[in-house]
């Protein structure tokens, strides 16, 4: 009798545990999507689109799973009770181009199948949106809402969408001195903008391993200077007669970890100050200097207990913004406007209106849609671009891959800068960002290593970012960049001109540096011309 009672109690316990487990699984709504590589074995000439399609699926599905989209190479045969799992495929047939997806729900063993067909490559993005709409409706009960004018707008936008976020790396090409500006023909037609590279320069290997770079006409002589900063010195070069010439080297105080350099003439004396933001012993230590051929080097401020960055604020022009370190953190939560006094930099009570997650070095203000209200574009720790409206509501999140900078765990992590411009003069500002490919070995989980870098110019189409142009591929990644713009008068109007500066390592990355020792850096310079529809740039 005792044994029977024990068995009965044990059975009840097992049933209770099974009930609790089942109830828990049903109560917790999985909010994560795992995407596996797009199968392009039957895609023929379109096989190069594999990576791009997976990223586009990720960008469209991420809002429904709160951005929890993971990229994995192989599917685990066992069920994942916390994730949706999706395998997509692209195939070229006599009937057209078939785009399909197989999705496993967390609670089901049998997959769901989705399929759509496009008659030509130009209709592929409409097919992708239709497929995503079917997945949304089946998995997340999202009703299809794009009809009439919205449908037409989506179809028009779709001609641009192949260049959204990360156009496939196989489409990148080189030219000239290994420096080229790429723009797909259908993108140029869709946005009415032609982008060309004019003058192209590439420096010899410079005897420097820079932490940061910027550029500008700092001394007012109409020639652009290039400022490179290491942890120990500032090096100033000048672009003159198709060569990048060294002008001066200025030593820095010891023990610094530099993470950013910018230039701006905030004291209005005709010479741009050089703002060097750094840390020492995990505390802010920033420096401000001036240099010109006539006056030489002048240190304006040393050992400033703020991180420093000149920031363009709509309606106020360029101001000096600052952020301090927090308790137990490299940065405090608020960013303030600072003022230059003759003997010190002082804080004001004016706080910049920004999302809480933003720090001093990962955002820009930009009027992306031309409505006179400015959005905030920021790079997250996951290397995603986030767009916030003027009320700081989140509008959009890209897949990861933007602004990645090689680093080790020491010091403040600062992404590669974002730059704002208006390439076609339509009043809607555009974004320039760096796209580096992450490939860190798993055994170096505290170090980020990159290769295959590009600089990309992107417009905001109201739904996401679409690429307008990109540079050639930099095999060893992009370390930093800067873009300067101006307007060239024409007979019937004006044309936007620009100059793009790109810093790259001569060879390898931190991994090669650890094993083989590093060389120096190179600076590449592109002259650029932007011609809007009709050949005239209109401000």
Contacts of 183 (CB under 8 A, 6+ apart): 194, 195, 468, 469, 470
Rounded distance between C-alpha atoms, residue 74 and residue 79, angstroms = 13
Q: From first to last of the 539 residues of the chain, give the pLDDT tens digit.
A: 444 444 444 444 444 444 444 444 344 455 688 889 899 889 887 876 777 787 778 767 777 666 577 778 877 766 667 788 889 999 988 888 999 999 988 877 788 999 999 887 767 778 888 898 898 888 877 765 543 333 333 333 333 233 333 433 333 333 335 678 888 766 677 778 889 888 888 999 998 999 999 999 999 999 999 999 999 999 999 988 778 999 999 999 999 999 999 999 999 999 999 999 999 988 999 999 999 999 999 999 999 999 999 999 888 899 999 999 987 788 898 999 999 999 999 999 999 999 999 999 999 999 998 888 999 999 998 999 999 999 999 999 998 889 998 765 566 789 999 999 999 888 899 999 999 988 765 555 566 788 889 999 999 988 888 889 999 889 889 999 999 998 777 666 677 889 999 999 987 554 444 444 457 899 999 999 998 875 555 44
Q: Would you say how long the chain is, in residues?
A: 539
For residue 38, what are its two tokens? 């797009």
Q: CA end-to-end span of the chain, whole Å?
A: 93
At which residue do the structure tokens 């992009």 appear?
Answer: 478
The DSSP line for 133-193 is HHHHHHHH-PPP---THHHHHHHHHHHHHTTBSS--GGG----TTT--EE--HHHHHHHTE
The sign of the torsion formed by the CA atoms of 72, 78, 80, 86 equals positive
Whether pTM > 0.75 for this model: the answer is no
């Amino acid at each position: 009798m005792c044994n029977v009672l024990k068995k009965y109690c044990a059975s009840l316990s097992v049933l209770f545990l099974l009930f609790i487990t089942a109830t828990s699984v049903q109560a917790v709504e999985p909010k994560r999507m795992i995407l596996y590589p797009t199968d392009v074995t039957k895609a023929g000439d379109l096989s190069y689109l594999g990576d791009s399609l997976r990223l586009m699926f990720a960008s469209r599905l991420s809002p429904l799973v709160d951005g929890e989209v993971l990229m994995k190479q192989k599917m685990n045969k066992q069920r994942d009770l916390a994730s949706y799992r999706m395998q997509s495929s692209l195939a070229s047939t006599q009937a057209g181009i078939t785009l399909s997806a197989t999705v496993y729900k967390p609670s089901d063993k049998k997959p769901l199948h989705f399929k759509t067909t496009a008659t030509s490559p130009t209709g592929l993005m409409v097919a992708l949106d239709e497929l995503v709409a079917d997945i949304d409706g089946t998995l997340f009960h999202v009703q299809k809402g794009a009809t009439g004018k919205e449908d037409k707008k989506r179809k028009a936008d779709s001609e641009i969408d192949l260049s959204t976020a990360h156009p496939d790396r196989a489409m990148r090409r080189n030219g000239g001195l290994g420096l080229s500006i790429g723009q797909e023909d259908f993108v140029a037609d869709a946005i009415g903008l032609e982008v060309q590279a004019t003058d192209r320069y590439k420096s010899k290997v410079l005897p420097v391993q820079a932490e940061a770079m910027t550029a500008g006409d700092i001394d007012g002589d109409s020639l652009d200077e290039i400022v490179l900063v290491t942890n120990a010195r500032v090096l100033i070069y000048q672009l003159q007669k198709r060569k990048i010439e060294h002008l001066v080297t200025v030593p820095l105080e010891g023990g610094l970890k530099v993470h950013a350099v910018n230039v701006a003439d905030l004291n209005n004396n005709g010479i741009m100050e050089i703002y060097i933001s750094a840390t020492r012993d995990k505390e802010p230590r920033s420096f401000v200097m001036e240099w010109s051929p006539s006056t030489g080097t002048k240190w304006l401020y040393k050992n400033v207990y703020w991180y420093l960055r000149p920031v363009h604020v709509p309606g106020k022009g360029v101001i000096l913004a600052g952020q301090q370190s927090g308790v137990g953190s490299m940065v405090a939560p608020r960013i303030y406007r600072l003022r230059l006094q003759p003997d010190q930099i002082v804080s004001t009570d004016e706080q910049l209106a920004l999302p809480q997650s933003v720090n001093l070095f990962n955002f820009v203000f930009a009027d992306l849609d031309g409505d006179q209200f400015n959005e905030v574009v920021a790079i997250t720790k996951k290397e995603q671009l986030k767009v916030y409206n003027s009320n700081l509501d989140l509008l959009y999140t890209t897949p990861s891959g933007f602004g990645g900078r090689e680093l080790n765990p020491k010091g403040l992590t600062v992404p590669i800068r974002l730059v704002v411009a208006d390439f076609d003069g339509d009043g809607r500002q555009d974004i320039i960002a760096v796209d580096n490919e992450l490939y860190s070995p798993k055994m170096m989980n505290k170090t980020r290593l990159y290769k295959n870098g590009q600089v990309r110019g992107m417009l905001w189409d109201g739904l996401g970012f679409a690429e307008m142009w990109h540079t050639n591929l930099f095999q060893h990644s992009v370390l930093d960049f800067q873009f300067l713009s101006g307007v060239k008068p024409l007979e019937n109007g004006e044309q936007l001109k620009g100059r793009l500066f790109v810093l790259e390592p001569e060879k390898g990355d931190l991994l090669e540096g650890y094993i083989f020792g590093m060389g120096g850096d190179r600076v590449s310079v592109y002259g650029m011309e932007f011609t809007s529809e009709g050949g005239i740039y209109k401000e």
